[in-house]
Structure 1
Protein backbone atom coordinates (compact mmCIF):
# COMPACT_ATOMS: atom_id res chain seq x y z
CA UNK A 1 0.00 0.00 0.00
CA UNK A 2 2.74 2.44 0.97
CA UNK A 3 4.77 1.43 -2.10
CA UNK A 4 1.79 2.25 -4.33
CA UNK A 5 1.42 5.68 -2.71
CA UNK A 6 5.13 6.40 -3.21
CA UNK A 7 4.93 5.41 -6.89
CA UNK A 8 1.88 7.58 -7.49
CA UNK A 9 3.52 10.53 -5.75
CA UNK A 10 6.72 10.05 -7.75
CA UNK A 11 4.75 9.83 -10.99
CA UNK A 12 2.86 13.02 -10.16
CA UNK A 13 6.09 14.79 -9.29
CA UNK A 14 7.62 13.82 -12.62
CA UNK A 15 4.51 15.06 -14.43
CA UNK A 16 4.53 18.34 -12.51
CA UNK A 17 8.20 18.90 -13.31
CA UNK A 18 7.55 18.11 -16.98
CA UNK A 19 4.69 20.62 -17.08
CA UNK A 20 6.82 23.31 -15.45
CA UNK A 21 9.62 22.64 -17.91
CA UNK A 22 7.17 22.84 -20.82
CA UNK A 23 5.81 26.10 -19.45
CA UNK A 24 9.27 27.67 -19.19
CA UNK A 25 10.29 26.38 -22.62
CA UNK A 26 7.13 27.74 -24.22
CA UNK A 27 7.59 31.18 -22.61
CA UNK A 28 11.24 31.32 -23.63
CA UNK A 29 10.63 30.31 -27.25
CA UNK A 30 7.55 32.51 -27.55
CA UNK A 31 9.22 35.63 -26.11
CA UNK A 32 12.37 35.25 -28.22
CA UNK A 33 10.23 34.69 -31.32
CA UNK A 34 8.02 37.70 -30.60
CA UNK A 35 11.05 39.90 -29.91
CA UNK A 36 12.96 39.01 -33.07
CA UNK A 37 10.04 38.81 -35.49
CA UNK A 38 8.23 41.71 -33.83
CA UNK A 39 11.23 44.03 -34.10
CA UNK A 40 11.73 43.39 -37.82
CA UNK A 41 8.01 43.38 -38.57
CA UNK A 42 7.07 46.61 -36.81
CA UNK A 43 10.02 48.54 -38.24
CA UNK A 44 9.02 47.48 -41.74
CA UNK A 45 5.36 48.27 -40.99
CA UNK A 46 6.29 51.79 -39.86
CA UNK A 47 8.22 52.22 -43.11
CA UNK A 48 5.27 51.08 -45.26
CA UNK A 49 2.63 53.18 -43.49
CA UNK A 50 4.75 56.32 -43.83
CA UNK A 51 5.04 55.97 -47.63
CA UNK A 52 3.42 58.59 -49.85
CA UNK A 53 0.75 56.17 -51.13
CA UNK A 54 -0.55 55.35 -47.64
CA UNK A 55 0.53 58.15 -45.31
CA UNK A 56 -2.39 60.52 -46.15
CA UNK A 57 -4.96 57.78 -45.53
CA UNK A 58 -6.66 57.94 -42.08
CA UNK A 59 -6.91 54.14 -41.80
CA UNK A 60 -3.19 53.80 -42.51
CA UNK A 61 -2.55 56.33 -39.74
CA UNK A 62 -4.30 54.04 -37.24
CA UNK A 63 -2.29 51.07 -38.52
CA UNK A 64 0.85 53.17 -38.04
CA UNK A 65 -0.14 53.98 -34.46
CA UNK A 66 -0.80 50.28 -33.83
CA UNK A 67 2.64 49.37 -35.22
CA UNK A 68 4.37 51.94 -33.00
CA UNK A 69 2.48 50.71 -29.93
CA UNK A 70 3.31 47.12 -30.90
CA UNK A 71 7.00 48.00 -31.13
CA UNK A 72 6.84 49.40 -27.59
CA UNK A 73 5.23 46.13 -26.46
CA UNK A 74 8.07 44.18 -28.10
CA UNK A 75 10.77 46.22 -26.34
CA UNK A 76 9.13 46.45 -22.90
CA UNK A 77 6.58 43.76 -22.12
CA UNK A 78 8.27 40.85 -23.89
CA UNK A 79 11.72 41.28 -22.24
CA UNK A 80 10.15 41.89 -18.83
CA UNK A 81 8.13 38.68 -19.01
CA UNK A 82 11.07 36.71 -20.37
CA UNK A 83 13.27 37.82 -17.48
CA UNK A 84 10.49 37.24 -14.96
CA UNK A 85 9.37 33.73 -15.92
CA UNK A 86 12.47 32.16 -17.47
CA UNK A 87 15.50 33.82 -15.89
CA UNK A 88 13.84 34.64 -12.53
CA UNK A 89 14.83 38.32 -12.71
CA UNK A 90 11.60 39.96 -11.61
CA UNK A 91 11.62 43.74 -12.07
CA UNK A 92 8.01 43.81 -10.87
CA UNK A 93 9.01 42.47 -7.44
CA UNK A 94 11.93 44.85 -6.87
CA UNK A 95 9.71 47.18 -4.83
CA UNK A 96 6.08 48.10 -4.22
CA UNK A 97 6.45 51.19 -6.39
CA UNK A 98 7.86 49.22 -9.35
CA UNK A 99 5.20 46.57 -8.89
CA UNK A 100 2.41 49.14 -9.13
CA UNK A 101 3.90 51.21 -11.96
CA UNK A 102 4.99 48.32 -14.17
CA UNK A 103 1.71 46.43 -13.67
CA UNK A 104 -0.20 49.51 -14.79
CA UNK A 105 2.15 50.23 -17.69
CA UNK A 106 2.21 46.72 -19.23
CA UNK A 107 -1.58 46.45 -19.06
CA UNK A 108 -1.89 49.89 -20.65
CA UNK A 109 0.59 49.42 -23.48
CA UNK A 110 -0.46 45.89 -24.48
CA UNK A 111 -4.08 47.03 -24.89
CA UNK A 112 -3.36 49.95 -27.23
CA UNK A 113 -2.57 48.07 -30.50
CA UNK A 114 -5.91 46.29 -30.54
CA UNK A 115 -7.87 49.50 -29.89
CA UNK A 116 -6.02 51.26 -32.71
CA UNK A 117 -7.18 48.46 -35.00
CA UNK A 118 -10.71 49.08 -33.69
CA UNK A 119 -10.34 52.72 -34.72
CA UNK A 120 -9.14 51.59 -38.15
CA UNK A 121 -12.26 49.42 -38.46
CA UNK A 122 -14.45 52.35 -37.41
CA UNK A 123 -12.71 54.55 -40.00
CA UNK A 124 -13.60 52.05 -42.73
CA UNK A 125 -17.24 52.29 -41.65
CA UNK A 126 -17.11 56.09 -41.83
CA UNK A 127 -15.37 56.34 -45.20
CA UNK A 128 -17.74 53.80 -46.81
CA UNK A 129 -20.92 55.51 -45.57
CA UNK A 130 -23.46 56.88 -48.06
CA UNK A 131 -23.67 60.11 -46.06
CA UNK A 132 -21.17 62.81 -46.96
CA UNK A 133 -21.40 64.18 -43.42
CA UNK A 134 -20.40 60.81 -41.94
CA UNK A 135 -17.63 60.32 -44.52
CA UNK A 136 -16.16 63.66 -43.46
CA UNK A 137 -15.29 62.07 -40.10
CA UNK A 138 -12.78 59.86 -41.91
CA UNK A 139 -10.00 62.44 -41.99
CA UNK A 140 -6.48 63.09 -40.78
CA UNK A 141 -7.83 65.78 -38.44
CA UNK A 142 -9.94 63.18 -36.64
CA UNK A 143 -6.99 60.75 -36.48
CA UNK A 144 -4.69 63.32 -34.86
CA UNK A 145 -7.26 63.81 -32.12
CA UNK A 146 -8.56 60.26 -31.72
CA UNK A 147 -5.11 58.67 -31.39
CA UNK A 148 -3.84 60.57 -28.30
CA UNK A 149 -7.34 60.49 -26.83
CA UNK A 150 -7.36 56.69 -27.08
CA UNK A 151 -3.93 56.51 -25.42
CA UNK A 152 -5.22 58.67 -22.57
CA UNK A 153 -8.52 56.83 -22.11
CA UNK A 154 -6.90 53.37 -22.06
CA UNK A 155 -4.29 54.58 -19.57
CA UNK A 156 -6.98 56.04 -17.31
CA UNK A 157 -9.06 52.87 -17.62
CA UNK A 158 -6.27 50.91 -15.92
CA UNK A 159 -5.57 53.55 -13.26
CA UNK A 160 -7.06 51.30 -10.56
CA UNK A 161 -4.26 48.73 -10.95
CA UNK A 162 -1.59 50.57 -8.87
CA UNK A 163 -3.95 50.62 -5.89
CA UNK A 164 -4.48 46.85 -5.83
CA UNK A 165 -1.06 45.45 -6.77
CA UNK A 166 1.74 44.97 -4.28
CA UNK A 167 4.75 42.79 -3.42
CA UNK A 168 3.73 39.96 -1.08
CA UNK A 169 5.77 38.11 1.52
CA UNK A 170 7.02 35.68 -1.15
CA UNK A 171 8.61 38.62 -3.04
CA UNK A 172 6.15 38.42 -5.91
CA UNK A 173 4.10 41.22 -7.47
CA UNK A 174 0.51 40.05 -7.10
CA UNK A 175 -2.99 41.40 -7.50
CA UNK A 176 -5.24 41.53 -4.46
CA UNK A 177 -7.47 38.47 -4.18
CA UNK A 178 -11.17 38.41 -3.49
CA UNK A 179 -13.59 40.90 -4.96
CA UNK A 180 -10.99 42.91 -6.83
CA UNK A 181 -9.56 39.81 -8.52
CA UNK A 182 -13.03 39.01 -9.87
CA UNK A 183 -13.52 42.62 -10.96
CA UNK A 184 -10.14 42.72 -12.69
CA UNK A 185 -10.83 39.49 -14.54
CA UNK A 186 -14.15 40.77 -15.88
CA UNK A 187 -12.70 44.22 -16.60
CA UNK A 188 -9.74 42.80 -18.53
CA UNK A 189 -12.11 40.50 -20.37
CA UNK A 190 -14.05 43.44 -21.81
CA UNK A 191 -11.19 45.90 -22.24
CA UNK A 192 -8.53 43.59 -23.65
CA UNK A 193 -9.55 40.01 -24.39
CA UNK A 194 -13.08 40.20 -25.83
CA UNK A 195 -13.92 43.90 -26.16
CA UNK A 196 -11.61 44.85 -29.06
CA UNK A 197 -12.26 41.68 -31.15
CA UNK A 198 -16.03 42.11 -30.78
CA UNK A 199 -15.79 45.78 -31.79
CA UNK A 200 -13.59 44.83 -34.76
CA UNK A 201 -16.12 42.24 -35.87
CA UNK A 202 -19.07 44.66 -35.57
CA UNK A 203 -17.32 47.50 -37.41
CA UNK A 204 -16.01 45.08 -40.02
CA UNK A 205 -19.50 43.78 -40.78
CA UNK A 206 -20.85 47.34 -40.95
CA UNK A 207 -18.07 48.35 -43.35
CA UNK A 208 -18.78 45.36 -45.60
CA UNK A 209 -22.48 46.28 -45.60
CA UNK A 210 -21.67 49.86 -46.57
CA UNK A 211 -19.42 48.71 -49.40
CA UNK A 212 -22.09 46.39 -50.78
CA UNK A 213 -24.69 49.15 -50.61
CA UNK A 214 -22.35 51.60 -52.36
CA UNK A 215 -21.98 49.17 -55.27
CA UNK A 216 -25.75 49.15 -55.72
CA UNK A 217 -26.06 52.93 -55.71
CA UNK A 218 -26.41 54.64 -59.06
CA UNK A 219 -23.39 56.37 -60.54
CA UNK A 220 -23.44 60.19 -60.65
CA UNK A 221 -24.78 61.89 -63.76
CA UNK A 222 -21.55 63.73 -64.50
CA UNK A 223 -18.79 61.61 -65.97
CA UNK A 224 -15.40 62.33 -64.38
CA UNK A 225 -12.44 63.23 -66.52
CA UNK A 226 -9.65 60.75 -67.21
CA UNK A 227 -7.42 62.14 -64.46
CA UNK A 228 -10.26 62.23 -61.94
CA UNK A 229 -11.30 58.72 -62.87
CA UNK A 230 -7.73 57.48 -62.41
CA UNK A 231 -7.42 59.15 -59.00
CA UNK A 232 -10.78 57.75 -57.89
CA UNK A 233 -9.83 54.28 -59.06
CA UNK A 234 -6.52 54.48 -57.22
CA UNK A 235 -8.22 55.68 -54.03
CA UNK A 236 -10.84 52.92 -54.20
CA UNK A 237 -8.12 50.32 -54.73
CA UNK A 238 -6.26 51.62 -51.67
CA UNK A 239 -9.47 51.58 -49.62
CA UNK A 240 -10.19 47.99 -50.67
CA UNK A 241 -6.69 46.90 -49.70
CA UNK A 242 -6.96 48.61 -46.30
CA UNK A 243 -10.39 47.03 -45.80
CA UNK A 244 -8.90 43.62 -46.51
CA UNK A 245 -6.01 44.25 -44.12
CA UNK A 246 -8.44 45.42 -41.45
CA UNK A 247 -10.65 42.31 -41.74
CA UNK A 248 -7.73 39.85 -41.63
CA UNK A 249 -6.10 41.72 -38.74
CA UNK A 250 -9.41 41.66 -36.85
CA UNK A 251 -9.68 37.90 -37.31
CA UNK A 252 -6.10 37.50 -36.08
CA UNK A 253 -6.82 39.49 -32.91
CA UNK A 254 -9.95 37.39 -32.34
CA UNK A 255 -8.00 34.14 -32.70
CA UNK A 256 -5.24 35.27 -30.31
CA UNK A 257 -7.50 37.03 -27.79
CA UNK A 258 -10.45 34.69 -27.30
CA UNK A 259 -8.53 31.68 -25.85
CA UNK A 260 -7.60 33.78 -22.82
CA UNK A 261 -11.26 34.71 -22.40
CA UNK A 262 -12.31 31.07 -22.46
CA UNK A 263 -9.63 30.30 -19.90
CA UNK A 264 -11.01 33.05 -17.64
CA UNK A 265 -14.50 31.53 -17.79
CA UNK A 266 -13.09 28.05 -17.16
CA UNK A 267 -10.92 29.11 -14.22
CA UNK A 268 -13.84 31.05 -12.72
CA UNK A 269 -16.06 27.97 -13.00
CA UNK A 270 -13.60 25.77 -11.06
CA UNK A 271 -12.42 28.46 -8.62
CA UNK A 272 -14.29 26.82 -5.72
CA UNK A 273 -12.94 23.33 -6.40
CA UNK A 274 -10.02 21.85 -4.47
CA UNK A 275 -7.18 21.12 -6.90
CA UNK A 276 -4.08 19.01 -6.38
CA UNK A 277 -0.56 20.03 -7.42
CA UNK A 278 -0.78 18.28 -10.79
CA UNK A 279 -4.02 20.02 -11.72
CA UNK A 280 -2.57 23.37 -10.67
CA UNK A 281 0.51 22.77 -12.84
CA UNK A 282 -1.73 22.00 -15.83
CA UNK A 283 -3.75 25.17 -15.23
CA UNK A 284 -0.57 27.22 -14.95
CA UNK A 285 0.63 25.88 -18.31
CA UNK A 286 -2.75 26.63 -19.90
CA UNK A 287 -2.79 30.11 -18.35
CA UNK A 288 0.69 30.88 -19.71
CA UNK A 289 -0.16 29.69 -23.22
CA UNK A 290 -3.42 31.66 -23.45
CA UNK A 291 -1.95 34.77 -21.80
CA UNK A 292 1.13 34.94 -24.02
CA UNK A 293 -0.94 34.23 -27.13
CA UNK A 294 -2.74 37.53 -26.55
CA UNK A 295 0.55 39.34 -27.27
CA UNK A 296 0.68 37.77 -30.73
CA UNK A 297 -1.68 40.34 -32.20
CA UNK A 298 0.49 43.20 -31.01
CA UNK A 299 3.77 41.62 -32.14
CA UNK A 300 2.97 39.87 -35.43
CA UNK A 301 0.72 42.34 -37.27
CA UNK A 302 3.34 42.94 -39.98
CA UNK A 303 3.13 39.35 -41.19
CA UNK A 304 -0.66 39.49 -41.22
CA UNK A 305 -0.50 42.64 -43.34
CA UNK A 306 2.04 41.06 -45.70
CA UNK A 307 -0.09 37.98 -46.28
CA UNK A 308 -3.37 39.87 -46.69
CA UNK A 309 -2.50 42.93 -48.81
CA UNK A 310 -0.95 43.25 -52.25
CA UNK A 311 -0.51 46.99 -51.64
CA UNK A 312 1.52 46.31 -48.50
CA UNK A 313 3.72 43.81 -50.33
CA UNK A 314 4.27 46.26 -53.19
CA UNK A 315 5.54 48.93 -50.81
CA UNK A 316 7.90 46.39 -49.25
CA UNK A 317 9.26 45.43 -52.66
CA UNK A 318 9.90 49.11 -53.36
CA UNK A 319 11.84 49.32 -50.11
CA UNK A 320 14.12 46.41 -51.02
CA UNK A 321 14.54 47.65 -54.61
CA UNK A 322 15.49 51.09 -53.32
CA UNK A 323 17.97 49.52 -50.90
CA UNK A 324 19.47 47.47 -53.72
CA UNK A 325 19.85 50.57 -55.92
CA UNK A 326 21.55 52.47 -53.10
CA UNK A 327 23.98 49.60 -52.56
CA UNK A 328 24.79 49.52 -56.27
CA UNK A 329 25.48 53.28 -56.27
CA UNK A 330 27.74 52.91 -53.21
CA UNK A 331 29.65 50.07 -54.84
CA UNK A 332 30.04 52.03 -58.09
CA UNK A 333 31.29 55.14 -56.28
CA UNK A 334 33.73 53.06 -54.23
CA UNK A 335 35.17 51.41 -57.33
CA UNK A 336 35.52 54.77 -59.09
CA UNK A 337 37.36 56.22 -56.11
CA UNK A 338 39.77 53.30 -56.11
CA UNK A 339 40.79 54.00 -59.73
CA UNK A 340 43.80 56.28 -59.58
CA UNK A 341 44.90 58.31 -62.61
CA UNK A 342 48.27 57.32 -64.11
Structure 2
Protein backbone atom coordinates (compact mmCIF):
# COMPACT_ATOMS: atom_id res chain seq x y z
CA UNK A 1 0.00 0.00 0.00
CA UNK A 2 2.83 2.36 0.88
CA UNK A 3 4.60 1.62 -2.40
CA UNK A 4 1.39 2.47 -4.27
CA UNK A 5 1.12 5.76 -2.40
CA UNK A 6 4.74 6.55 -3.19
CA UNK A 7 4.14 5.80 -6.86
CA UNK A 8 1.09 8.04 -6.91
CA UNK A 9 3.03 10.77 -5.14
CA UNK A 10 5.86 10.59 -7.66
CA UNK A 11 3.40 10.64 -10.56
CA UNK A 12 1.63 13.66 -9.06
CA UNK A 13 4.94 15.47 -8.60
CA UNK A 14 5.98 14.70 -12.18
CA UNK A 15 2.66 15.94 -13.51
CA UNK A 16 3.04 19.13 -11.49
CA UNK A 17 6.54 19.66 -12.87
CA UNK A 18 5.37 19.04 -16.43
CA UNK A 19 2.46 21.42 -15.97
CA UNK A 20 4.73 24.12 -14.52
CA UNK A 21 7.14 23.63 -17.41
CA UNK A 22 4.34 23.95 -19.95
CA UNK A 23 2.98 27.11 -18.30
CA UNK A 24 6.46 28.64 -18.19
CA UNK A 25 6.96 27.81 -21.87
CA UNK A 26 3.66 29.45 -22.77
CA UNK A 27 4.49 32.58 -20.81
CA UNK A 28 8.05 32.75 -22.16
CA UNK A 29 7.11 32.24 -25.82
CA UNK A 30 4.26 34.75 -25.70
CA UNK A 31 6.50 37.27 -23.96
CA UNK A 32 9.27 36.76 -26.52
CA UNK A 33 6.75 37.09 -29.34
CA UNK A 34 5.44 40.43 -28.06
CA UNK A 35 8.88 41.87 -27.31
CA UNK A 36 10.34 40.53 -30.55
CA UNK A 37 7.50 41.91 -32.63
CA UNK A 38 7.85 45.34 -31.04
CA UNK A 39 11.64 45.37 -31.35
CA UNK A 40 11.81 44.23 -34.96
CA UNK A 41 8.97 46.56 -35.94
CA UNK A 42 10.84 49.49 -34.43
CA UNK A 43 13.96 48.46 -36.36
CA UNK A 44 11.96 48.37 -39.58
CA UNK A 45 10.49 51.82 -38.85
CA UNK A 46 13.91 53.29 -38.07
CA UNK A 47 15.98 51.80 -40.87
CA UNK A 48 13.39 52.29 -43.60
CA UNK A 49 13.40 56.05 -43.09
CA UNK A 50 14.68 57.85 -46.21
CA UNK A 51 17.70 59.23 -44.36
CA UNK A 52 18.92 55.78 -43.32
CA UNK A 53 17.47 53.58 -46.05
CA UNK A 54 20.05 54.84 -48.53
CA UNK A 55 22.82 53.76 -46.17
CA UNK A 56 24.16 50.28 -47.06
CA UNK A 57 24.46 49.33 -43.40
CA UNK A 58 20.73 49.91 -42.94
CA UNK A 59 20.02 47.20 -45.54
CA UNK A 60 21.73 44.65 -43.31
CA UNK A 61 19.70 45.78 -40.30
CA UNK A 62 16.51 45.44 -42.35
CA UNK A 63 17.51 41.90 -43.34
CA UNK A 64 18.22 41.23 -39.67
CA UNK A 65 14.73 42.45 -38.72
CA UNK A 66 13.15 40.24 -41.40
CA UNK A 67 15.05 37.25 -40.00
CA UNK A 68 13.72 38.18 -36.57
CA UNK A 69 10.19 38.15 -37.97
CA UNK A 70 10.85 34.64 -39.28
CA UNK A 71 11.87 33.57 -35.79
CA UNK A 72 8.81 34.97 -34.01
CA UNK A 73 6.28 33.98 -36.69
CA UNK A 74 7.65 30.52 -37.59
CA UNK A 75 9.93 29.10 -34.90
CA UNK A 76 8.23 30.50 -31.79
CA UNK A 77 4.67 29.34 -32.60
CA UNK A 78 5.83 25.83 -33.51
CA UNK A 79 7.93 25.58 -30.35
CA UNK A 80 5.01 26.94 -28.33
CA UNK A 81 2.75 24.20 -29.68
CA UNK A 82 5.45 21.58 -29.10
CA UNK A 83 6.50 22.40 -25.53
CA UNK A 84 3.56 24.47 -24.31
CA UNK A 85 0.61 22.44 -25.57
CA UNK A 86 2.18 19.04 -26.45
CA UNK A 87 1.14 19.46 -30.09
CA UNK A 88 4.37 18.77 -31.93
CA UNK A 89 4.64 19.04 -35.69
CA UNK A 90 7.80 16.94 -35.44
CA UNK A 91 5.78 13.74 -35.00
CA UNK A 92 4.67 14.08 -38.61
CA UNK A 93 6.38 11.99 -41.33
CA UNK A 94 10.16 11.89 -41.26
CA UNK A 95 10.41 14.14 -44.33
CA UNK A 96 8.37 16.82 -42.57
CA UNK A 97 10.48 16.53 -39.44
CA UNK A 98 13.70 16.84 -41.43
CA UNK A 99 12.40 19.84 -43.34
CA UNK A 100 11.38 21.67 -40.15
CA UNK A 101 14.75 20.89 -38.58
CA UNK A 102 16.50 22.19 -41.70
CA UNK A 103 14.34 25.32 -41.79
CA UNK A 104 14.89 26.09 -38.11
CA UNK A 105 18.63 25.58 -38.49
CA UNK A 106 18.81 27.92 -41.51
CA UNK A 107 16.86 30.69 -39.79
CA UNK A 108 18.88 30.37 -36.58
CA UNK A 109 22.21 30.37 -38.45
CA UNK A 110 21.62 33.62 -40.33
CA UNK A 111 23.97 36.22 -38.88
CA UNK A 112 23.89 39.67 -40.43
CA UNK A 113 25.91 41.27 -37.66
CA UNK A 114 29.09 40.21 -39.46
CA UNK A 115 27.89 42.06 -42.56
CA UNK A 116 27.05 45.10 -40.44
CA UNK A 117 30.47 45.11 -38.78
CA UNK A 118 32.26 44.61 -42.10
CA UNK A 119 30.28 47.45 -43.69
CA UNK A 120 31.20 49.77 -40.82
CA UNK A 121 34.82 48.74 -41.28
CA UNK A 122 34.74 49.52 -45.00
CA UNK A 123 32.85 52.78 -44.53
CA UNK A 124 35.17 54.09 -41.81
CA UNK A 125 38.38 53.24 -43.67
CA UNK A 126 40.67 56.09 -44.70
CA UNK A 127 41.41 54.28 -47.97
CA UNK A 128 39.07 55.33 -50.77
CA UNK A 129 39.33 51.93 -52.46
CA UNK A 130 38.21 50.12 -49.31
CA UNK A 131 35.34 52.57 -48.81
CA UNK A 132 33.89 51.59 -52.19
CA UNK A 133 33.01 48.20 -50.67
CA UNK A 134 30.44 50.02 -48.53
CA UNK A 135 27.69 50.58 -51.07
CA UNK A 136 24.06 49.72 -51.73
CA UNK A 137 25.09 47.46 -54.60
CA UNK A 138 27.39 45.41 -52.37
CA UNK A 139 24.80 45.21 -49.58
CA UNK A 140 22.08 44.04 -51.94
CA UNK A 141 24.36 41.23 -53.10
CA UNK A 142 25.70 40.20 -49.71
CA UNK A 143 22.29 39.73 -48.07
CA UNK A 144 21.05 37.09 -50.57
CA UNK A 145 24.53 35.55 -50.54
CA UNK A 146 24.24 35.10 -46.78
CA UNK A 147 20.94 33.26 -47.21
CA UNK A 148 22.31 31.11 -50.04
CA UNK A 149 25.46 30.20 -48.09
CA UNK A 150 23.56 29.17 -44.98
CA UNK A 151 21.00 27.21 -47.00
CA UNK A 152 23.70 25.25 -48.83
CA UNK A 153 25.73 24.50 -45.72
CA UNK A 154 22.66 23.11 -43.94
CA UNK A 155 21.63 20.77 -46.79
CA UNK A 156 23.48 17.75 -45.28
CA UNK A 157 20.92 17.76 -42.48
CA UNK A 158 18.32 16.57 -44.98
CA UNK A 159 20.42 13.51 -45.86
CA UNK A 160 22.33 12.56 -42.72
CA UNK A 161 20.00 13.73 -39.97
CA UNK A 162 18.41 10.59 -38.51
CA UNK A 163 15.25 10.54 -36.43
CA UNK A 164 14.57 8.75 -33.16
CA UNK A 165 12.32 5.71 -33.41
CA UNK A 166 10.09 6.96 -30.61
CA UNK A 167 7.05 8.51 -32.33
CA UNK A 168 6.30 10.95 -29.50
CA UNK A 169 9.77 12.48 -29.47
CA UNK A 170 11.19 12.60 -32.99
CA UNK A 171 14.56 13.84 -31.82
CA UNK A 172 17.75 13.36 -33.76
CA UNK A 173 19.86 10.37 -32.82
CA UNK A 174 23.43 10.69 -31.60
CA UNK A 175 25.30 9.66 -34.72
CA UNK A 176 28.59 10.94 -36.15
CA UNK A 177 26.91 13.61 -38.26
CA UNK A 178 25.15 15.16 -35.29
CA UNK A 179 28.41 15.29 -33.35
CA UNK A 180 30.11 17.05 -36.26
CA UNK A 181 27.09 19.30 -36.71
CA UNK A 182 27.19 20.29 -33.04
CA UNK A 183 30.88 21.12 -33.38
CA UNK A 184 30.22 23.21 -36.50
CA UNK A 185 27.42 25.09 -34.73
CA UNK A 186 29.77 25.93 -31.87
CA UNK A 187 32.78 26.91 -33.99
CA UNK A 188 31.52 27.97 -37.44
CA UNK A 189 28.26 29.64 -36.44
CA UNK A 190 29.16 30.91 -32.94
CA UNK A 191 32.86 31.43 -32.19
CA UNK A 192 34.04 32.49 -35.65
CA UNK A 193 31.24 35.05 -36.30
CA UNK A 194 31.70 36.53 -32.83
CA UNK A 195 35.46 36.78 -33.34
CA UNK A 196 35.05 38.32 -36.80
CA UNK A 197 32.56 40.85 -35.46
CA UNK A 198 34.92 41.73 -32.60
CA UNK A 199 37.88 42.21 -34.96
CA UNK A 200 35.90 44.39 -37.37
CA UNK A 201 34.53 46.37 -34.44
CA UNK A 202 38.01 47.07 -33.07
CA UNK A 203 39.34 48.17 -36.46
CA UNK A 204 36.24 50.30 -37.06
CA UNK A 205 36.73 52.06 -33.74
CA UNK A 206 40.36 52.63 -34.69
CA UNK A 207 39.35 54.08 -38.06
CA UNK A 208 36.86 56.43 -36.43
CA UNK A 209 39.48 57.70 -34.01
CA UNK A 210 41.88 58.29 -36.89
CA UNK A 211 39.25 60.11 -38.93
CA UNK A 212 38.29 62.42 -36.07
CA UNK A 213 41.91 63.35 -35.61
CA UNK A 214 42.69 63.99 -39.26
CA UNK A 215 39.44 65.32 -40.71
CA UNK A 216 37.55 67.47 -38.22
CA UNK A 217 35.19 68.81 -40.86
CA UNK A 218 33.65 65.38 -41.45
CA UNK A 219 32.33 64.97 -37.91
CA UNK A 220 28.76 65.61 -38.94
CA UNK A 221 28.99 62.82 -41.51
CA UNK A 222 30.40 60.39 -38.97
CA UNK A 223 27.48 60.94 -36.58
CA UNK A 224 25.23 58.63 -38.59
CA UNK A 225 27.97 56.00 -38.78
CA UNK A 226 28.53 56.13 -35.02
CA UNK A 227 24.82 55.86 -34.29
CA UNK A 228 24.65 52.72 -36.42
CA UNK A 229 27.78 51.39 -34.72
CA UNK A 230 26.24 51.63 -31.22
CA UNK A 231 23.72 48.77 -31.69
CA UNK A 232 26.52 46.63 -33.08
CA UNK A 233 28.67 47.25 -29.99
CA UNK A 234 25.76 46.40 -27.68
CA UNK A 235 25.05 43.13 -29.51
- TM-score under structure 2 normalisation? 0.88
- Residue 139 of structure 2 is aligned to residue 143 of structure 1: yes
Which residue is 1:162 aligned to?
158
| Pairing 1:209–2:206 present | yes
Give the superposition deviation at 1:73.
Answer: 1.1
Tell me, in whole angstroms, the C-alpha distance in 2 between the residues paired with 1:178 and 1:245: 39
Query: Match of 1:96?
Result: 94
Cα deviation, residue 82, structure 1: 0.7
Which residue is equivalent to 1:320?
none
Q: Which residue number corresponds to residue 53 of structure 2?
A: 55
Give 3-state SS (helix, strand or coil) of 1:176's partner.
Answer: coil
Q: Does 1:182 align with 2:179?
A: yes
Distance 1:7 1:118, change over 3 A: farther
1:92-150 deviation line (CA, Å, top 9, x unaligned): 221111111110001101221xx111110111111111211111101111001100000
Name stretches of at least 5 consecutive residues in structure 1 with no aligned partner.
Answer: 221-231, 250-342
Taking the aligned partners of 2:211 and 2:13, their CA distance within structure 1 comes to 59
The count of corresponding residues between Structure 1 and Structure 2 is: 234
Unpaired runs of at least 5, structure 2: none
Q: How far, CA to CA, are the matches of 1:212 and 1:8 in structure 2? A: 69
CA shift, 1:34, in A, is: 1.5
Per-residue deviation at 1:176?
A: 3.0
TM-score (norm 1): 0.62
Tell me the SS of whatever aligns to 2:134.
Answer: coil
**Which of 1 and 2 has greater Rg?**
1
Structure with the greater relative contact order (CA < 8 A, sep ≥ 6): 1 or 2? 1
Segment drifting more, 151-160 vs 193-202: 193-202
RMSD between aligned alpha carbons? Answer: 2.6
What's the offset of the Cα at 1:16? 5.4
Secondary structure in structure 1 of the residue aligned to 2:52: coil
Query: How far did residue 13 of structure 1 move?
Result: 6.6
Distance 1:194 1:58 in 2: 26
Task: Supply the distance in 2 between the matched residues of 1:194 and 1:17 (Cα, whole angstroms).
Answer: 39
Instruction: Name the SS for the 2:51 alignment partner.
Output: coil
Q: CA deviation at 1:167?
A: 4.2
Matched, 1:130 2:133: no
The answer to whether the 8 A contact 2:25-2:83 is kept is yes
How far residue 21 of structure 1 moved from its aligned partner, in angstroms, is: 4.2
For residues 76 and 218 of structure 1, do their structure 2 counterparts lie closer, same or farther at Cα, with a shift above 3 Å needed?
closer
